[in-house]
Amino acid sequence: MNDRQEGIEDDITGWAWEYDPDPEWVVGGMKAPDREAVAVIASALADLAAYGLGPEGRLDEDQNPMRLRTYSTGTILVWYQVVEYRKRVYVKRVNL
């Protein structure tokens, strides 16, 4: 895992993650530790996507690759979308 933040592409893979539509909509009002945890999760999801993987397995085996996906850990549920041709993971919603 690395310390990339929103919208900053990885030097090697070119992948990045972003909040969609914007940080205020997705994580606005969250405490700083929760926002940092979401950033770590998003960075890890972008790292996986760079290698054609997701938490559930290979991305190229997905029947609907543009679908809205979920990932949960502890009390955090992240709704995200992988857009391969843009090399982006878009974080759409976060539930605590």
CATH number of the domain bearing residue 57: 3.30.2310.20
Predicted pLDDT at 4: 66
Q: Is residue 2 part of a domain?
A: no
Report the relative pairing of strands 57-58 and 16-19 from DSSP bridges: unpaired
> What total of structural domains would you count in the chain?
1
In terms of pTM, does the model score above 0.85? Answer: yes
Q: Is residue 9 part of a domain?
A: no
Nearest alpha-carbon partner for 94 in 14, 11, 28: 28
Per-residue pLDDT of the chain (96 residues; tens, 9 = 90+): 456 678 888 888 999 999 999 999 999 999 999 999 999 999 999 999 999 999 988 988 888 888 999 999 999 999 999 999 999 999 999 999
In terms of residue numbers, what domain contains 41?
Answer: 16-95
- What does residue 19 show for φ and ψ, rounded to 5 degrees? -80, 140
Predicted pLDDT at 1: 44
Residue whose pair of structure tokens reads 């995200």 in the numeric block: 80
Q: Is residue 8 part of a domain?
A: no
